[in-house]
Structure 1
Amino acid sequence: MLIDGLQCGHFTPEVFTALRRGNIAAVTVTCGFWEDPMESFDALGRWRDLIAENAETCAVARTPAEIDAVNASDRTAIILGFQNTDLFGGRIRLVEMFAELGVRVVQLTYNNQNAVGGSCYEPNDGGLARFGREVVREMNRAGMLIDCSHVGERTTLEAIAHSEKPIAVTHANATSLVPHSRNKQDAILHALRDTGGVMGCAVYRNITGDYYCASVRNWCEMVARTVDIAGIDTVAIGTDYGHDNTPADYAWMRMGRWTRGIDHGASSAGKPVKTPKAEWLAEGVSGLGQIPDGLREVGFQPPEIEKIIRGNWMRLYAATFRPN
């Protein structure tokens, strides 16, 4: 059973069934990108309805104990998350309110600088803002895991330093292995290692590259090289797998309401709007079930495999999630 630090897109009964086929114990889902507080409340309402309609295959989990309980009932645990702090609307008290509604993972910025800090695409990252420092500590207090996946390097390092609890980069890779603005420098991986944080290795082709997407063994080679950089206790799975996203979905993710122009996000001009999936995931998300065998093939031992596929996330969730 493995835990995926982040997926996005359109979840359907077929997707939930595929998660079960792939032995996915838990997955953090993306409930929003650019939405304001009221839109985010609406999104949580839709997610509650969706999970209730698929109660035979999934259930919300707010703690590691709930993840175990959901798995014991042969279902996938759904962890509610957002990829931007816009859902707080500049209101510090909304952090606790969203935590009480079950939100457990929130990314500080999404592609653009905001009131919290800088993004990975800003030419100059000004670091964690005054409001950002307040949000980090309030997320610590409220029991939310801080995610720095799309966050600028300086802001990420300052968030790690300012946070009283370990943080995550839920879906990225090492820049030294795959150069890309979305990926993370070794200094960040070392800071995660030194503070008990976790990085989930992604399968999204634009930030993973063709070689590591070609086979599960190749991808597990990337994981092994990431462990060489950051240590066995720091590396996990965070695929950034997208379910049936449409051109309209990509337009919202990449442009939102902030530009009249075209933005390619992690892609670039001339590439398809919808990037091809990794070859080893040709049959869909159920293909993630190949990862344990792939890790074994590249030399990992069973205790190490358990940490990568599940244990590191569970340790971090225990250290950060709000107890019920």
Structure 2
Amino acid sequence: MSVHGQQLSGLAAIVTGAGRGLGRAEALELGRLGASVVVNDFGQPGRDGSGAASATPAEEVAAEIVAAGGQAVAHHGDVADFEEARGLVQLAVDTYGKLDILVNNAGILRDRMIFSMSEAEWDAVIHVHLKGHFNTTHFAAVHWRERSKAAGGPVYGRVVNTSSEAFLAGSAGQPNYAAAKGGIVGLTTSTALALGKYGVTANAICPRARTRMTEDVFAGFLEVEEGLDPLAPEHVSPLVGYLASPAAARANGQLFVVHGGMVAIIDRPRVAAKFDTAKDVFSHDELDDLLTPYYADRDPNHTFAATEVLGLKHE
């Protein structure tokens, strides 16, 4: 790893869940681009959030950035804890004088079919993914708003959130994860609208990568013995670096799918069909006459979300 370019020089960044996988690749990329990085990772060994927390993963990535000539410090708090998230943002401000970039990546998995999922499995995933994204974004937003008021105008701010194709196309064994990732998109667009006037953009990515979180999903899929794995996290991190940079000033409230040398911009949902009642209010019979023929040739297992993702139609 070597420092190259100065696209993010003078900017301070936080990357959550940065001790391994995607977060690590993203933190290293921001460091390569010249940002000073707070590397956050709770450090639990289990992808389900189990095991004792450890400072080691965050400290090792921070050390990599420093060894390459960059600036980095480690933080090993739990972003799903409101006060820990406050401390994370404060660490960036205390260390670097400000916060400019927030990359939310931390997450866990507790996979189960909807009929088998426990309340604890639902709550744990929503807690880390969705609440974790809210917590850090809240304190970053407070910081940027205060800075903007003091400056009398816009400041520099970038939020990059991590959603998933599980939200886009559905994932039968991940109702908690898919719901959390869908919620993150809603949080992102709301944040983009709320903070735009302060000079802050917020975007979300749906990355596909071979990491500890996806080792079962991508086991034996497109593995390579030589060269860069098509599903390596390093295919995702350049987009994060771009969205964190001044070059992406006009990208706001957007959703991207990224993997293996491909970036796709996902459009907002559009109306597929529209029906108006011939009376004052719909009756059951009228809806039957209109909607039943519309769905007559549809496979009931062909859900709206799976209809077309990245141009791939249901067979």
Q: Give the TM-score taking structure 2 as reference length.
A: 0.35
Relative contact order, higher structure (CA 8 A, sep 6+): 1
Higher helix proportion (structure 1 or 2): 1
